[in-house]
A and B are shown apart, each in its own frame.
Chain A
């Protein structure tokens, strides 16, 4: 539950809250965020209503990046994103310049990540063939089918617990331009069913020929992921490996340090981890850029040690 703040920047653009009274002033330079905040929700406003007003703006056709923030009663997972996805699909002609979508810029104060009701987002990719970047937050109800998309460069799925079916959908996709793949695997307590085996096709390098960045983030049992990825063929292709926000310990860190493939990356990111101070110092000496910040000590309760990933208790 650590995402306490809305994004300030999306796809290189500052994010600006869309205000119908101000209109869309800078459709190319800004990413517009649509959100139904507490007051608006209390007043009965809806995201689809706000989106309808957004679409009426003559500048809507030039908007390149959109952020969908909290919708009405977003903490109620029964209120899914399905109507929003449907409305976006129906608006594809109007939003002709749209290249980047973030669906679910919701903080834990607005709704815990696993309580965000997502939906089948597959139709968005058919409706927006020129989409280059898609980020979604919340794994509950999330469906991503087998995609065929010629232009998608960045795909990010943030969850408190990732369902294996979502990973299978993504891995069976044809994304010939994908450079950035970011999966937040999460915790079994929050619906994680994905295992290291499910990730096999990525790790063996069978998918995504143009991948440059692989993020397997917010992962419980990050040591197992680190061990599985340390010598994987995919490392010959990518430049950045991101295992941040998880519960990595010395075991996983040592596996990464022992791999010549890791040492040839441009960057390794393990921030938010549980490695010892000594190992933390050592991994920073790998000779590549390493982010080993946010070192945590395990919590101890009645002789048991607990390590929390970023989005959990």
Chain B
């Protein structure tokens, strides 16, 4: 492409100053593409900007993660108050106004999802009047990817191997009954609409023994107990404590699935994050963890992809990448997608346990052509434009 300056009008809805935006900007500068035009979530949520006016003919819209910004989180929660939702923690507008930033606190995940879905629908409606443009990851796909049971069902329908799901449960007692019925002794309990590492409990029971590993902490406050995501994996063996935690999470909606054992590498269990970009599975990272939650970015460290490939053998590794590509195909409205894969002991088989609409934040991980995820996305736009607005 020497001598040819690619023209790309990328409009990004994002939190200004976020790391994701900085990495994207670097990649675009590296490709000689004009810097993206940024629509800040904060301003957009205030109604200060209309996408119909921002998007031009041929623009490409990228909807980024709204995370890591408390004001944006508060505004999304406020949007969620407009929805009728049964049960779960809810924060009224007044309460929201008084809310102060509190690191790690899990704030009404059901309400947040309702608000985020509403925001996505607003974006979708807002751009119907815009000139013809394209979208990298569309709103419906993002909404589905943030809803774990729906996403899993969609993947299973597409013939993609996923851990067995045990359905929604209303609380700890129901969880135990469900596990007995299904003859499953070990499960992951995840917030139905949480981000990948938020509010996860690995729970196991055998006869009268119960045990849980979790990063969630229950902290007593004047207005009742609060949940926090912490940086530490704790082991709980007191059943009452476990029951209380699971009851609290279940009130906000949880997804329960079988805890499929993961294979080990370098003495530790691991999973693989693969980023699928425009149908290619070129970026992979091996995440080693001491505990059952290898997908935590917190204390995991990276393992060697070549070592893993060697252990698995090329056919099993290729089959894993093929499954990831099929996850990508299952979401034709997504140009890029993070796919979390557990390799089973024995290294032959694998299951998909998460797919993430904003799963391309893998700084320093390069594909076989030496490109980071953002560069690969930008170049893929030049080759095959993202799906045009239907």
Number of residue pairs spanning A and B whose beta carbons lie under 8 angstroms apart: 79
Q: How far is the CA of A73 from the CA of B259 in the complex (A)?
A: 12
Known: A37-B345, A77-B207, A107-B345. A4 touches B264 (CB 8 A): yes
| A227 adjacent to chain B (CB < 8 Å) | no
What's the least CB distance linking B154 to chain A, in Å? 22
- Distance from B267 Cβ to chain A, minimum over Cβ atoms (Å): 5
* A22 proximal to B (CB < 8 A): no
Are B264 and A109 in touch, CB under 8 angstroms? Answer: yes
CB distance B268 to A112 under 8 Å?
Answer: no
Least Cβ–Cβ distance between B237 and chain A, in angstroms:
8
Q: B209 contacts A115, CB within 8 Å?
A: yes
Q: Does B260 contact A (CB under 8 A)?
A: yes
Q: Is A233 an interface residue (CB 8 A)?
A: no
* Beta-carbon nearest neighbor of A110 in chain B: B261
Closest Cβ neighbor of A313 among chain B residues: B235
Q: Is the interface of B mostly helix, strand, loop or mixed?
A: loop
Chain B CB within 8 A of A102 CB: no
| Residue contact B267 to A4, C-beta cutoff 8 Å | yes
Q: Taking A37-B344, A38-B260, A39-B344 as contacts, is the C-beta distance between A115 and B206 under 8 angstroms? A: yes
Cβ-based interface call for A3 (8 A): yes
Q: Say what secondary structure dominates the interface of chain A.
A: loop
A2–B233 Cα gap in the complex (Å)? 14
Is A108 engaged at the interface, CB distance under 8 Å to the other chain?
yes
State in angstroms the CA–CA spacing of A77 and B185 once bound together: 10
A260 proximal to B (CB < 8 A): no
- Interface residues in A1-39 by Cβ distance below 8 A to B read 1-6, 17, 35, 37-39
**CB <8 Å contact, A2 and B267:** yes
Contact of A6 among B164, B209, B264, B292 (CB under 8 A): B264
B residues 173-189 in Cβ contact with A at 8 Å: 183, 185-186
In B62-96, which residues have CB < 8 Å from any A CB?
none
Q: Knowing A78-B207, A107-B264, say if A2 contacts B290 (CB, 8 Å).
A: yes
CB-defined contacts of A2 to chain B, threshold 8 Å: 267-268, 290
B385 at the interface (CB under 8 A from A): no
Contacts of B183 in A (CB 8 A): 73
B349 in the interface (beta carbon within 8 A): yes
Chain B residue contacts of A5, Cβ below 8 A: 263-268
Residues of chain A lying within 8 A (CB to CB) of residue B345 = 6, 35, 37-38, 69-70, 107, 109-110
Chain A nearest Cβ from B32, distance in angstroms: 44
Q: Which of B185, B262, B268, B269 contacts A76 (CB 8 A)?
A: B185
- Are the C-beta atoms of A77 and B265 separated by less than 8 Å? no
Name B268-306 residues within 8 Å CB distance of A: 268-270, 288, 290-292
**At the interface, yes or no: B211 with Cβ under 8 Å from chain A?**
yes
Instruction: State the CA gap A109–B292 with chains docked (Å).
Output: 7
Minimum CB–CB distance from B302 to chain A (whole Å) comes to 15
Please tell me if A75 contacts chain B, counting CB pairs below 8 Å: yes
Query: Shortest Cβ distance from B187 into chain A, in angstroms?
Result: 11
Q: How far is the CB of A201 from chain B (nearest CB, A)?
A: 33
Judge whether B329 is part of the interface by a CB distance below 8 angstroms.
no
Q: Give the chain A neighbours of B266 by CB distance below 8 A.
A: 5
- Asked if B346 and A17 make an inter-chain contact with CB atoms under 8 angstroms apart, the answer reads yes
Give chain A residues whose Cβ lies under 8 Å from the Cβ of B207.
Answer: 76-78
CA distance A70 to B261 in the complex (A): 11
Residue in chain B with minimal CB distance to A69:
B345
- 10 A-B pairs with CB atoms under 8 Å apart are A2-B267, A2-B268, A4-B265, A37-B261, A38-B344, A73-B183, A77-B209, A109-B263, A112-B211, A115-B209
Interface residues of chain A, those whose CB is within 8 Å of chain B, are 1-6, 17, 35, 37-39, 42, 69-70, 73, 75-78, 107-110, 112, 115, 313
Chain B residues at the A interface, C-beta cutoff of 8 Å: 164, 183, 185-186, 204, 206-207, 209, 211, 233-235, 260-270, 288, 290-292, 344-346, 349
